[in-house]
Chains A and B, each alone.
Chain A
Amino acid sequence: MDSSGDYKKSLDYYKHVSLFWTDLLSLMSSRPQMLTSTGPFRKLGVNAKLASAEMIGVNQHLVEFNNHLLEYYKQLMDTWNEAQKQFGKKVPEIPTDTEHLDSTKRIWIDIFENYFTRLFDSPDFAENFGKLVSSELELAKHWNNISSIVLESANLPTKKEIDELYKELHLLRKRVAKLEKISGMSGNGNGKRA
């Protein structure tokens, strides 16, 4: 197994151990004492294990993110070196007068632009870019989950709940506009003449 596989395995193990003991301790704890605390701390206490599981998940995806980020910079670096080599072949000596210096700059820009455009157009770059963005989104997902845990503990609506609300509002608006159109109340649904 490669090192990233080992790393994932050990993270999964810690995640499992952490959840096992927090769950078991919670089950073993005296139930009647729960009645004394109905505020956010009790909730936060219960949710803390979820937050720690999320943190373990963050570490896991951070490794993935770093791998794709390293590949991203490697691609940029390799392309830079290749372009520089090509430039060196084309312009062995840096000119010392203004006219030639300007044309040298033009050659430099053209060569680098061509090499980098070829890189950005390549499937390899786009594939790694897609994975890089995807792993970054996984991190964002963990961040959202942790925020939700904190918000839930404070009896505040979570992002998911707000999104549901936005969706319902969106559908409601469409429905109202449609009904208004059918009833001939307004030709423009929710819009208004300014």
Chain B
Amino acid sequence: MESELRIDPRIIEEFLQLNKNILEAPKLVAAPDEINLEMSPYDVVYTEGKMRLLHFNSNSKRQARTPLLIAYAVINRYHILDIHPQKSWVRNLMDQGLDVYMIDWGTPSEMDRYLGFDDYVNTYMENCVNFVSNESSVEKVTLQGYCTGGTLAAVYASLHPEKIRNLVLTAPVIDGSKDHSVVANLAKHIDVDKMVDVIGNVPPEFMYYVFSILKPFEQGFEKYVQFFKNIHNKDYVENFIRVEKWLSETPPIPGELFREWIKNVYQENLLIRNKMVVSGRTVNLRDISMPVFTQVAVGDHLVSPECSMPIHYSVSSEDKMLRIYATGHVGMIASSFSQKKVLPELGEWIKNRSEK
């Protein structure tokens, strides 16, 4: 008896095309190492340790005197906020007439293992805020923090509310007890004291592991199939390689900062309970009284919306806004969606509350 397997010839055709694309890929696409992630021009205006303060050069007419200082996360690098000319967070805000500064936390070495919240908030961030205020001749700045940078910004704003005119928190890590992400689950079960005491800084490889189990099949398989399928689409592959390079360039996290982070936010949940202590001072989120704009993404699998949203209800600000966007953690800051929806709203919100 003869069995017959009927296969659509298009399947074979697609399979062969995929193989052809894989072979052609090196000729069509630059290697991540050959790509420079720097997009918009900037000046390094202030440095301290490994930290740099970047001031972006804008050609647009300034529409607000109050400058915007962005505190990027301590995981990965700031490049995602300026990853592509058509998807650049920084460029969009500059085009809306804002003066944009960004804190690049740099790449900590073993020597920096003792840097903690106090250093990041009361030294680095404080000195950057002072510098920007002096340069712009204003008393207060608009502070935006993204992801873990949002936590730092929230802590700073509660300890130094007199220096912040507006606070923007984009997917901030605030309430670890409500975070239902895989990251939070692992963070709650780590012996963080042992980890920091033995290895010092948390190596990037540990973070890569955590990222790899967030969406293992979508990110570890389908993403690359789509990349090879779209190998002739110049925009697609350029964006893909840039984001991949960004993903693979996370710096180590200073040991003490990591220890405080895991304990205060995930394990003991002190920040949201107004019991976190930084350099002898208790962080009380009720001390945040300036206008606050909280941005969360409903599809955020890294920082779940439930983890970010409590900040909206914990501050004492009368002028506050919570926006929930139908996108993900990165989609909220570097996508066509963020350009069309998130940034126009944010720009208007900031300008309406800035010195003219």
Seen from chain A, the residues whose Cβ lies within 8 Å of a Cβ on chain B are 96-98, 101, 105, 108-109, 112-113, 116-117, 120-123, 125-127, 129-130, 133-134, 137, 140-141, 144, 162-163, 166-167, 169-171, 174, 177, 187-194
Contacts and interface: CB of A to CB of B under 8 A. Distances in A.
Contact of B185 (A126, A140, A191): A126
B200 A163 contact: yes
Nearest to A106: B222
B215 A192 contact: no
Contacts of A117: 182, 215
17 contacts: A96-B5, A96-B8, A97-B10, A98-B8, A101-B11, A109-B222, A112-B217, A121-B185, A122-B185, A126-B185, A126-B186, A127-B189, A130-B189, A187-B127, A187-B130, A188-B127, A191-B131
Interface stretch (B47-55, B233-241, B322-330): B47-55
A162 B47 CA distance: 25
A62 B92 CA distance: 53
Contacts of A171: 114
Interface string B186-216: 1011110011001110000000000001011
B224 interface: no
Nearest to B43: A194
Given A121-B182, A121-B185, A194-B52, A130 B190 contact: yes
Contacts of A113: 215-218
A162 B109 CA distance: 13
A132 B225 CA distance: 32
A98 B10 contact: yes
A164 to B, nearest CB: 11
A97 B213 CA distance: 31
B47 A137 contact: no
B191 A133 contact: yes
B163 interface: no
B253 to A, nearest CB: 15
The 10 closest A-B pairs by CB, nearest first: A191-B48, A130-B189, A126-B189, A97-B8, A170-B114, A120-B182, A194-B44, A188-B127, A98-B10, A126-B185
A126 B188 contact: yes
B255 to A, nearest CB: 10
Given A98-B11, A101-B8, A120-B213, 5 more contacts: A169-B111, A188-B46, A191-B47, A191-B49, A194-B47
A140 B189 CA distance: 19
B112 to A, nearest CB: 8
Contacts of B199: 137, 140
B46 A120 contact: no
Contact of B14 (A98, A140, A189): A98
B198 A109 contact: no
Contacts of A126: 185-186, 188-189
Contacts, number: 115
B16 interface: no
B191 A130 contact: yes
Nearest to A169: B111
Interface string B49-67: 1011100000000000000
B256 to A, nearest CB: 9
Contacts of A141: 198
A188 B114 contact: no
Contacts of A96: 5-8, 11
A189 B186 contact: no
Interface-centre pick from A97, A162, A192 (highest chain B CB count, 10 A): A97
B115 interface: yes
B221 A193 contact: no
B194 A188 contact: no
A194 B10 CA distance: 60
